[in-house]
Structure 1
Amino acid sequence: MKKIYLVLTFTFFNLLLTNAQVVGTDIGDIAPEIDLPDTKGENQVLSSLRGSLVLVDFWASWCGPCIKEQPLLLKLHNAYPDKLSIYSVSMDTKKALWTAAIAKGKLPWINVSDLKYWQSPVVGAYLLQSVPLNFLVDKNGIIVAKNIHGKALEDKIKSLLESK
């Protein structure tokens, strides 16, 4: 009888652990926290955007594909101003280049960077190997899509926001 009790207890706790949500970068994981300074030096915390759909966008001023995607991000930002937040994390190391790219692209959303490039703690937390890279995070902080761009990104955001 003790053996059965131990097996059932072990199975119960094993199920609890395997179904528990974890912080990570896979779809279904809780997005890792980011707490970095914006262009004014004020820290912006990713989790403060909970309650809306958030696009976490890793980019750099020197990244051609990143810059090419900014008009689409601006279009999405303008189409869903109260439902979609964009949290851009720059991998730039020079503030002047970073802020100039923001001004040139007229990017009104949250833009953060610690100007440490690959030494930034977010690189490890998000397993960043190259840019552009993005994560779509739901209102509860759960990753619902990652590394989708162009029409696929537009369609995913539209389906998530217009199905409600």
Structure 2
Amino acid sequence: MRHLILLALLAVICSCSLHSQMPKGKNIAINLKLDSTISNHEQWVYLHRYDDNEFLIEDSTFIKKGQKEITLYGYTPEEHSFSILFAKKGPIEIYLILAPNSYVETEVSATDGMSPLKKVKGSYANNERIEKVKNSFTINEKKREYYAELSIPTLSDKEKEEIVKQIEQADVQLDSINMHLLKNSQSPNNVWGALYYFSEKVKRDSLTILVKKALKRFPNNKQIKGFIYKPKNGFPPETEASKQRSERISQIIDARINENIKLKEKKGETTTNVNGLTFLSDKGEEVAISKLTGEYILIDFWASWCIPCLEGMPYIKQAENMCNGKLKVCLISMDKDHKTWKECIVRWKVENFVNLTAINSKGEQIEGVNIKAIPYNYLLNKDHEIVATNIHQKELLEKLNELMKKE
């Protein structure tokens, strides 16, 4: 009992100390340790969130060159989600779930990526969400592979039935993850996330039962209430000040994204003489497209930040399997960060493909690559003649099946 009393006193002392350090009207502090990839750049950092229809910039601070640490402050009456935006260098969005009287710490690097999943010291809810996202991601990745396999034109009815069963089993796993959160999480925000998942899967009556169970634990949470109890007069319209704040942050985000993903365009040119191009491989070797051999050659332009590209990757793997050695796959990355590109090769298990980069050491796109958007691909025959362009996922598998039948 004495130990419990001492722990309680320490908690009170720490809480009082925290409050004394916070600016007036704030009850959340976020301490960010910055590595050299960020501290070498002067820039603004913003802490923002939505509260119903109102967009709020909770705090902003300017990083001076060489500065290694910053603290952002916010306020929330209940657990809520926040986002941190670096205006020039660093993550575009660090998403955090924070409760009142939170003090959290984390390290930040430009190599974290655009929207990193970051565990932090001081937020159980945030770290619980990250574990859920990672576990769900693994299962959803497997589901994408099953759907790619299901798209193979030559499958028998029995093979299709087996794959459908595997997809259903994956769905059961996802249901289990979300139901566990719904029943056991101490975070109303994570419980809301689980309810949102089920809102797209179950009927209204079943959702109402789940929401009422959640409200027994979090009776005053307006997000959870919102599933079944709508405000009588709806939410108030967004204010002009909110629109201006939202537009300001959106412009910064758009500029950051465009900087990372912009592809060169040449007016009047929509294709490129891909056979005349030479790229650097992940092994540091120069590879000429004209030297690639195979009955068919797939040249696919992609990037780690391109969601449609990653969604199409399982189909490319199935295409190679389906062609029984007659298809050579060459993946050409548009990632400016070569470290991220190489990590993605391992993560997506595509080391057996020819992996090249279209971005030189200066972060510039190699001349002659005149594609306007990705994913984009060329399917070549053994004579390096273009058979098809810009065909993806199921369409790619169907085209290859058609070509195989003609042989």
Match of 2:387 in 1: 144
Q: Percent identity?
A: 33
Give me the whole-angstrom Cα distance separating, in 2, the residues matched to 1:97 and 1:31: 24
For residue 88 of structure 1, give the secondary structure of its aligned residue in structure 2.
strand
- Specify which structure has the bigger relative contact order, considering alpha-carbon pairs within 8 angstroms and separated by 6 or more residues: 1
Contact 1:31 1:143 in 2 (8 A): no
Match of 2:357 in 1: 113
Match of 2:282 in 1: 39
Match of residue 103, structure 1, among 346, 351, 360:
346
- Aligned residues between the structures: 135
Which segments of 5 or more consecutive residues in structure 1 lack a partner in the other structure?
1-23
Tell me whether 1:59 sits opposite 2:265 in the alignment. Answer: no
Q: TM-score, normalised by structure 2?
A: 0.31
Give me the whole-angstrom Cα distance separating, in 1, the residues matched to 2:271 and 2:359: 22
Output aligned runs, 1:1-164, within 5 Å. Answer: 25=271, 31-107=274-350, 108-116=352-360, 119-123=365-369, 127-164=370-407
For residue 130 of structure 1, give the secondary structure of its aligned residue in structure 2.
coil
Give me the whole-angstrom Cα distance separating, in 2, the residues matched to 1:102 and 1:161: 28
Give me the whole-angstrom Cα distance separating, in 2, the residues matched to 1:162 and 1:47: 26
Give me the whole-angstrom Cα distance separating, in 1, the residues matched to 2:404 and 2:368: 27
Give me the whole-angstrom Cα distance separating, in 2, the residues matched to 1:135 and 1:48: 15
- Across the aligned residues of Structure 1 and Structure 2, the Cα RMSD in angstroms comes to 2.0
Would the alpha carbon gap of residues 118 and 135 (structure 1) be closer, same or farther in structure 2, given more than 3 Å must change? farther
Would the alpha carbon gap of residues 133 and 114 (structure 1) be closer, same or farther in structure 2, given more than 3 Å must change? closer
Shift of 1:51: 4.4
Shift of 1:78: 2.0
Q: TM-score, normalised by structure 1?
A: 0.75
Which segments of 5 or more consecutive residues in structure 2 lack a partner in the other structure?
1-269
